[in-house]
Amino acid sequence: MKILVLNCGSASVKWGLYVDGKSVDGGLIERVTDCAQAVREVIFSADVSDLDGIGHRVVHGGLRFTTPTLIDDAVLEAVTRLVPLAPLHNPVNLEGIKIAREMLPGVPQVAVFDTAFHRTIPPAQAMYAIDVEVAQENGIARYGFHGTSHEYVSRRTAELLGRDPADVNVITLHLGNGASACAVRGGRSVATSMGLSPLEGLVMGSRSGNIDPAVVFHLHRVAGMSFEAIDDLLNQRSGLKGLCGDNDMREVLRRRADGDAAAELAFDVYCERVKMYVGGYYALLGRVDAITFTAGVGENAAPVREASLSGLGALGIVVDAARNGSAARDERLISPDGAVPAVCVVPTDEELEIANQTAELLAR
């Protein structure tokens, strides 16, 4: 089966072409400002003859979409209604789908949702402690995101350890432009740091992650900011960018190495937040077999991995400096042999996972 995958992200377009589950072509267009144009370029440049299907990453699937779904007008409408809950993502996902449908009419298009893997999260983690009626009426709950990545990476981690995914507990740390942590028990998501929207949890490139919700009321009532302006502040002008002016961890690391105090503080806030989720999910899981770093920052930024897990030796969490600092780019252990939990780096491959899930749906 020949599948084209389009992952239109908040700041990049990633794509891949797969034949029977094997990657034959692919690419990354970074710092995208016009997603539609990027998708047009992909479709013009890739060999899209005889496609069996196109798999699209769709970030928010709400309550309705819990499995990969064949796209029709009704699905597009439902995804459009979820735009307010994923304002940086669903609009670009939709743009990609629309262009692909226009340029390749007749090819089946499948949506693979970031939220789907988290449908197993139990109520004690999924519910916010607010009036249950208000929550229910408005769909206020933890949906969680990056599910395709957490699913793929937790499974690959079990395989890296030579274990059955059903027997393994993993804390996965997806640190990219967006960032989220996930507690995976026996292959199922049981907790994750993103919530109703991809704004909650870890510090991100330009998103705040957790803050006191009263900050929003204060900025509105006392500082006179509109809700639109506060939304923009928390989604686009916060996180690393808000703290030090740079949203790219490569720049933050470079400036920190040069002794820049703002970059150092941004780095510290970022890594301490990761550490707090690791500790929390360790407690929740009770037994942790592995902690795995993935995505742009997680795969490449050794200082972030080192600082995020520093001082956790009493929990058995140890990072081997030489392994962590190595230039290797493959799936690997960065803790000493035999250490439990194992600490791993596993490059994510959302596109491959989307291709496989798309092919599986189309084969039915």
Ligand X SMILES: Nc1ncnc2c1ncn2[C@@H]1O[C@H](COP(=O)(O)OP(=O)(O)O)[C@@H](O)[C@H]1O
Ligand Y SMILES: CC(=O)OP(=O)(O)O
Binding residues for ATP are 14, 174-178, 248-250, 296-300
> Binding residue for ligand X (CB under 6 A) from 148, 172, 177, 206?
177
* Cβ-based nearer residue to Mg ion, 2 or 241: 241
Q: Are 165 and 150 in contact (CB under 8 A)?
A: no
Q: Give every CB contact of residue 140 below 8 A, 6+ residues apart in sequence.
A: 128, 130, 134, 196
Which entry of ligand Y, Mg ion, ligand X, none binds 297, CB below 5 to 8 A by partner kind? ligand X
For residue 257, the minimal CB distance to ligand Y (Å) is 25
Q: List binding-site positions.
A: 7, 14, 57, 174-178, 248-250, 296-300, 350
- Can you tell me the distance from the alpha carbon of 92 to that of 117, in angstroms, rounded to the nearest whole number? 21
> Binding residue for ligand X (CB under 6 A) from 61, 178, 201, 341?
178
For residue 89, the minimal CB distance to Mg ion (Å) is 10
Residue 89 near ligand Y by CB under 6 A: yes
x-marked contacts with Mg ion along 139-178 as a string, rule CB under 5 A: -------------------------------------x--
In the three-class reduction of DSSP (H, G, I as helix; E, B as strand; rest coil), residue 35 is classed as helix
Please pick, among 72, 114, 231, 260, the residue that the annotation labels catalytic.
114
Q: Judge if the upstream peptide bond of residue 341 is cis by omega within 30 degrees of 0.
A: yes
Q: Are 130 and 139 in contact (CB under 8 A)?
A: no
Residue 146 near ligand Y by CB under 6 A: yes
Identify whether 114 is a catalytic site residue.
yes
> Binding residue for ligand X (CB under 6 A) from 3, 54, 271, 297?
297
* Count of alpha carbons within 13 angstroms of residue 206, beta-carbon side: 13
Residue 178 near ligand Y by CB under 6 A: yes
Which entry of ligand X, ligand Y, Mg ion, none binds 250, CB below 5 to 8 A by partner kind? ligand X
Q: Are strands 179-185 and 342-345 parallel, antiparallel or unpaired?
A: unpaired
Q: Which residue is nearest to Mg ion (CB)?
A: 176
* Cβ-based nearer residue to ligand Y, 174 or 305: 174
How much of the chain is helix, strand and coil, in % rounded to 5? 45, 20, 35
* Cβ-based nearer residue to ligand X, 141 or 345: 345
For residue 350, the minimal CB distance to ligand Y (Å) is 9
Residue 65 near ligand Y by CB under 6 A: no
Residue 187 near Mg ion by CB under 5 A: no
For residue 179, the minimal CB distance to ligand X (Å) is 8
Residues for the chain: how many in total? 364
Q: List binding-site positions for Mg(2+).
A: 7, 350
* DSSP string for residues in 309-354: TTT-GGGT----HHHHHS---SSEE-SPTT-SSEEEE----HHHHH
Q: Per DSSP, which regions of the chain are E strands? A: 2-8, 12-19, 22-30, 53-58, 69-70, 109-113, 169-175, 179-185, 188-192, 290-294, 332-333, 342-345
- Can you tell me the distance from the alpha carbon of 170 to that of 281, in angstroms, rounded to the nearest whole number? 9
For residue 6, the minimal CB distance to ligand X (Å) is 13
Catalytic residue numbers read 114
